[in-house]
Amino acid sequence: MSADDGAEAANERTERNVKRFLFVNRKAPYGTIYALEALEVVLISAAFDQDVTLVFLDDGVCQLKKGQQTKETGMKNFSPTYRALEGYDIEKLYVEKESLEHRGLTADDLLVPVKVLTTEEIGALMDQQDIVISF
């Protein structure tokens, strides 16, 4: 993409009032309301045709782990909702490499396709956003 193409894309987003939202998910999926609330805010943002990106760091990577069993927690398993994100045109999902490794996980252990980025790459991605919200 040339600089002119990038400027043109930015102008088009401005004309349509589209903002680039990056949601940072840092919390474990259960035990607090943060993960579920983050998912709801993401879906609302996408419903308003905003450019939505999700990043999972720290214990937030566990939100995407396959085979979640929530019966013992008394909380509903909302992890299947992540599979529906594509239907909302939310396709930019990133996971921090170091967070996965620290928890003994790989991208194959996750419910949905993600792009694995280093801490530095995630920092660069954050710099490209209009709005960054952390949960």
- Residue 88: the pLDDT is 87
Q: Give the CA angle between residues 55, 56, 60 to the nearest 5°.
A: 150
Q: How far is CA 109 from the centre of its chain?
A: 16
CA atoms within 13 A on the CB side of 116: 13
- pLDDT band at residue 14, thresholds of 50, 70 and 90? low
Domains, the chain: 19-134 (3.40.1260.10)
DSSP β-bridge partners for residue 54:
23, 93
Chain-centre distance of CA 30, in angstroms? 17
Report whether 114 contacts 93 (CB < 8 A).
Answer: yes
Q: Which residues contact 94 (CB under 8 A, 6 or more apart)?
A: 53, 54, 55, 56, 114, 115, 116, 117, 122, 125
Confidence of residue 7 (pLDDT cuts 50, 70, 90): low
The pLDDT mean for the chain works out to: 89
pLDDT for 107: 96
Q: Mean pLDDT across the stretch 107-134?
A: 97
Question: What percent of the chain shows pLDDT beyond 70?
Answer: 88
Tell me the three state secondary structure of residue 81.
Answer: helix
Report whether 28 contacts 35 (CB < 8 A). yes
**What pLDDT score does 32 carry?**
87
Q: What is the pLDDT of residues 95-117, one digit of tens each?
A: 999 999 999 999 999 999 999 99
- Residue with more model confidence, 11 or 39: 39
